[in-house]
């Protein structure tokens, strides 16, 4: 127990329901922090998630975490884009420092040497919640990676570029048809895998089996938007809807789709979808390589051309 009366304890499977209820009423948690989401790939990771309790044993914070790929590293969280300390507005100021101090002590006692902390980007937070970043600074953590993401507040979107407007005219001319909430996951995944292999020599983070399972688990949060020409898929996007942000988790287009402006039309429809759902922000994702040290300028400018601004994804490392 610390001066603030905060303690930490390891997550147990019996805590799952309480955990998810807490995430739903937090100021900075999303469905990615839920046990329902984390459990889909639980076999990949050694879970080290924690609950933060007040002096009366009530949950005031949770930290999704698992052993990292490097020996001696615990990561919050290696299986999701951002992890971080999720709370309902109570872990602020000195209490945030105390909570993270307790978390650090807990992992140190387990034999870990480093905590890698993937901070929750501001657009996903329902209230300003940077106390964790301040606490990490006070604890001499290092900011080791910054990825630059394109995004904008839907109510304050700037005008799209002439290039994107031209794409929309091309899409109309070629009768590009867009379907929302498509179930043709295998068709899109074939396109996505081919694109990532040919351009970046990589594969999607999720397998086809995993993304279809997640779409079944989260039918209101995960959607597929597809563009077709004469019935053939030429572009598409996977949308992740959190309470505040619609994010393009995946974007892909065939060479023919690029000529027809299909991906621009898909993205415009996705933006309209986010607005209709009452989301505050639209995120078109990061454009970084080499652990954030290289910016794919062409991709980044394409994302900005939808009237976008920018925000960052930050990763800290805290010696234990």
Spell out the long-range contacts of 208-212 with Cβ–Cβ below 8 A and sequence spacing 24 or more: 210/40, 210/41, 211/185, 211/238, 212/185
Q: DSSP letters along 83-101, please? A: ---EESS---THHHHHHHH
pTM over the 0.85 mark: yes
- Categorize the per-residue pLDDT at 5 as very low, low, confident or very high, splitting at 50, 70 and 90: confident
Confirm whether 7-140 and 151-312 share one CATH topology.
Answer: yes
Domain ranges in the chain are 7-140, 151-312
7-140 architecture in CATH? 3-Layer(aba) Sandwich (3.40)
| 165-193 average pLDDT score | 96
What's residue 206's pLDDT? 94
Task: Please say if the pLDDT value at position 141 is more than 90.
Answer: yes
Kindly report, residue by residue over 6-56, the tens digit of the pLDDT.
899 999 999 999 999 999 999 999 999 999 999 998 888 999 999 999 999
Residue 2 — very low, low, confident or very high, per pLDDT cuts 50/70/90? very low
Topology classification of domain 151-312 = Aminopeptidase (3.40.630)
Query: What phi, psi does 96 have (nearest 5°)?
Result: -65, -40
Q: 218 to each of 5, 47, 281, 319, how far by Cα in Å? A: 36, 22, 20, 36
């Amino acid at each position: 127990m610390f001066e603030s009366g905060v303690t930490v304890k390891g997550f147990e499977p019996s805590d799952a329901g309480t955990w998810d209820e807490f995430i739903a009423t937090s100021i900075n948690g999303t469905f990615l922090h839920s046990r329902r989401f984390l459990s889909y790939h639980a076999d990949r990771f050694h879970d080290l998630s924690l609950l933060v309790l007040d002096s009366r044993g009530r949950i005031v914070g949770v930290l999704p975490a698992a052993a990292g790929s490097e020996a001696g590293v615990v990561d919050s969280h290696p299986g999701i884009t951002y992890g971080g300390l999720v709370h309902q507005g109570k872990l602020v100021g000195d209490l945030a420092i105390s909570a993270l101090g307790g978390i650090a002590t807990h992992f140190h006692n387990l034999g870990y040497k480093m905590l890698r902390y993937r901070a929750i980007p501001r657009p996903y937070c329902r209230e300003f919640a940077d106390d964790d970043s301040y606490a990490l600074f006070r604890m001499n953590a290092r900011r080791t990676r910054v990825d630059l993401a394109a995004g904008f507040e839907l109510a304050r979107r700037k005008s799209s570029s002439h290039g994107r407007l031209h794409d929309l005219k091309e899409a109309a001319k070629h009768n590009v048809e867009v379907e929302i909430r498509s179930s043709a996951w295998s068709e899109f995944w074939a396109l996505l895998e081919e694109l990532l292999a040919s351009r970046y020599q990589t594969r999607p983070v999720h397998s086809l089996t995993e993304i279809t399972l997640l779409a079944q688990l989260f039918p209101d949060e995960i959607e597929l938007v597809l563009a077709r020409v004469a019935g053939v898929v030429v572009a598409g996007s996977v949308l992740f809807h959190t309470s505040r942000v619609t994010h393009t988790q995946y974007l892909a287009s065939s060479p023919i789709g690029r000529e027809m402006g299909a991906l621009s039309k898909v993205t415009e429809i996705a933006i309209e979808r986010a607005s209709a759902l009452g989301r505050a922000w639209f995120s078109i994702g990061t454009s970084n390589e080499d652990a954030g040290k290289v910016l794919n300028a062409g991709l980044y400018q394409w994302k900005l051309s939808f009237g976008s601004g920018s925000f960052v994804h930050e990763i800290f490392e805290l010696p234990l």
